[in-house]
A and B are shown apart, each in its own frame.
Chain A
Amino acid sequence: GAVVSQHPSRVICKSGTSVKIECRSLDFQATTMFWYRQFPKQSLMLMATSNEGSKATYEQGVEKDKFLINHASLTLSTLTVTSAHPEDSSFYICSARVQYSGANVLTFGAGSRLTVL
């Protein structure tokens, strides 16, 4: 089945540094990938839609200069949290749409737990 591989699974960094999270579609091509963020005991919040070969589209309230998204190939999207601060500590999850019974459902990566000290 369609698998999305995400890494690192956990990252701890100092405040002010940048962190890159990679999301790869294995055995399928994803022209579009979706990045979500989840705070403890909260729902998944869609941050941005990553489009292969073009600019990402960001949800309202998400700073595009803070969360840089690059989707340079049909199997790789990256999210870079720039100048990270403790409030950016969260669980970041990527996903892609895959076909299921004539519809499109989301297949998710395992997530990346970011802790900013």
Chain B
Amino acid sequence: SQKIEQNSEALNIQEGKTATLTCNYTNYSPAYLQWYRQDPGRGPVFLLLIRENEKEKRKERLKVTFDTTLKQSLFHITASQPADSATYLCAPDSGGGADGLTFGKGTHLIIQP
């Protein structure tokens, strides 16, 4: 069966350090891997996507990698700030565009000042 695994325990990082979040998937062949941020009591917000033929994607302090052999994506936040504290969700995407996305449980990231 299909499975998406994220380190669902809270991840505590000291301000200024790099936070690394993991997304592993099973029985998907995604054309993209999407990452979202969710704050408490709010809907998720799209952050970044990476294509299957891309190794790495960057956007400001965010970096995403995608290894289709390992079936894994890593999400990095460099120079982390307390405002980065949130739950981060990953979603493999087949690329069809007509279907909803299935999300992992998310990683609750806490950046401590």
Where the two chains meet, the residues of A that have a C-beta atom closer than 8 Å to any C-beta of B are 4, 6, 32, 34, 36, 42-44, 46, 49, 91, 93, 95, 97, 100-101, 103-111, 113
Contact = CB atoms under 8 A, between A and B. Distances in A.
Given A32-B98, A43-B103, A97-B97, A110 B42 contact: yes
A106 B101 contact: yes
A25 B76 CA distance: 31
A103 B49 contact: yes
Interface of B: 31-32, 34, 36, 41-46, 49, 51, 89, 93, 95, 97-106
Which secondary structure characterizes the binding site on chain A? strand
A44 B32 contact: no
A10 to B, nearest CB: 9
21 contacts: A6-B43, A34-B101, A43-B89, A43-B103, A43-B106, A46-B102, A91-B41, A93-B44, A95-B43, A103-B49, A103-B95, A104-B93, A106-B34, A106-B46, A106-B100, A107-B46, A108-B45, A109-B43, A110-B42, A111-B41, A111-B42
